[in-house]
Amino acid sequence: MSKAKAGIVVFPGSNCDHDAYHVLKNVLSVDTKFLWHKESAVGDRNIIILPGGFSYGDYLRCGSIARFSPIMKDVIRFAGRGGIVIGICNGFQVLCETGLLPGALMRNENLKFICKTVTLKVENNKSIFTSKYMIKEEISLPVAHGEGNYFCSEEKLTALIGNNQILFTYKDNPNGSVSNIAGIQNEGRNVLGLMPHPERVSEKILGSDDGRRIFESVAESVI
């Protein structure tokens, strides 16, 4: 039995919160609960998921209000202590806004919302998030976002590459991301942000379970 205790942060506009919950709780039998955005502590949780959605409507820049929410204050402290945090889609945007991850996510290059399955390359399998993949393995994950065009400065990009922080890249870049970046980890290697949705492909019945190993890798890393 895994010692993982997952907490899914629920912002009022989160809409993939139940999807992440379903995979962890029902598919992988991980002890999982929701964390309401007005709560001020992550409590006994040792994995925090920031799910997809539109945190506070995101009519302003995506995730820019979420970073000030009570729960995020403690998520930042938690990450600072080395706690595991995964931001998916809107969660990735929130992580960039809080500074837990470098860079920013801009409007897609074609200025449209894009929902489709894309091929990703696993660039690094020596992380707690990707240990169950093979290096350079190609996996299919769906994206669904209007602002997934990752950008960072030249300097930061060099650092991302040098520190092996880039975990996933797009084979066929859908949104204009710099260096085809789809997902990165922080320097401390305990925070992951990615635009594609692994929770949407974690059961064969949904067409693929290519995303499931991210959650399995993380759950196993908790000992």
Partner 1 sequence: MKEPEVTLELAKSLGLLEEEYERILNILKRKPTYTEIGIFSVMWSEHCSYKNSILEIKKLPRSGGRLLVSAGEENAGLVDIGDGLAVAFKIESHNHPSAVEPYQGAATGVGGILRDIFTMGARPVASLNSLRFGKISIDGFEETTSSEAEAERSKFLFKHVVKGIGDYGNCFGVPTISGEVYFEKCYQDNPLVNAMAVGIVKHNETATAKASGPGNPVFIVGSSTGKDGIHGATFASEEISEESESKRPNVQVGDPFTEKLLLEATLEVIKSGAVVGIQDMGAAGITCSTSEMSAKGNCGMEINLDKVPLRDKNMSAYEIMLSESQERMLVVIEKGKEKTAKDIFEKWDLNCAEIGKVISENKIKVYHKNKLAADIPANELVLGGGAPVYKREIKVPKYINSKRNFDYNNLKEPSDLNETLLKLLASPNIANKKWIYEQYDTQVRTNTVLLPGCDASVIRIKNTNKALSVKVDCNGRYVYLNPYKGGMIAVCESARNIVCTGAKPLAITNCLNFGNPYNPEVYYQFSESLRGIGEACKILETPVTGGNVSFYNQSKDYAVYPTPSIGMLGLLEDIDKMTTSYFKNKNDVILLIGNCRVNDKSELKDNFQICGSEYMNTIHNLVEGDAPDIDAVYEKKLHDFILELTGKSLLNSVHDVSDGGFAVAIAESCIMSPSSQLGCEINFNYRGRKDFCLFEEKQSLIIASADRSSINTIMRTAEIHKIECLEIGTVRGSRLKINFDIDLPLNALSGSYYNSINSIMEK
Write out the catalytic residue numbers.
89, 197, 199
Instruction: Give the DSSP letter of residue 190.
Output: -
The binder of partner 1 chosen from 15, 46, 125, 173 (CB under 8 A):
15
Instruction: Give the DSSP letter of residue 111.
Output: S
Q: Which is nearer to partner 1, 123 or 199 (CB)?
A: 199
Interface stretch with partner 1, choices 47-55, 93-101, 120-128, 180-188 (CB under 8 A): 47-55
Interface stretch with partner 1, choices 18-26, 93-101, 150-158, 161-169 (CB under 8 A): 18-26
146 scored as a contact of partner 1 (CB under 8 A): yes
Answer yes or no: are the C-beta atoms of 120 and 166 closer than 8 Å. no
Interface stretch with partner 1, choices 78-86, 106-114, 124-132, 160-168 (CB under 8 A): 106-114
Who contacts 81 (Cβ-Cβ below 8 Å, separation ≥6)?
A: none
Q: Which is nearer to partner 1, 81 or 204 (CB)?
A: 204
The binder of partner 1 chosen from 200, 213, 214, 216 (CB under 8 A):
200
The binder of partner 1 chosen from 2, 22, 25, 137 (CB under 8 A):
22
Residue 148 CB, shortest distance to partner 1, in Å, is 13
Residue 182 CB, shortest distance to partner 1, in Å, is 17
Burial 152-176 (b: 16+ CB within 10 A, else e): beeeebeebeeeebbbbbbeebbbe
Q: Which of 2, 8, 217 is nearest to 122 (CA)?
A: 217
Give residue 54's region: left, alpha or beta (phi > 0; psi -120 to 50).
beta
121 scored as a contact of partner 1 (CB under 8 A): no
12 scored as a contact of partner 1 (CB under 8 A): yes
Q: How far apart are CA 72 and CA 49, in angstroms?
A: 11
Answer yes or no: are the C-beta atoms of 167 and 192 closer than 8 Å. yes
**β-strands 47-50, 84-88: how paired?**
parallel
Contact footprint for partner 1 (CB under 8 A): 12-13, 15-16, 18-19, 22-23, 26, 38, 52-54, 56-59, 112-117, 142, 144, 146, 197, 199-200, 202-203, 205-207
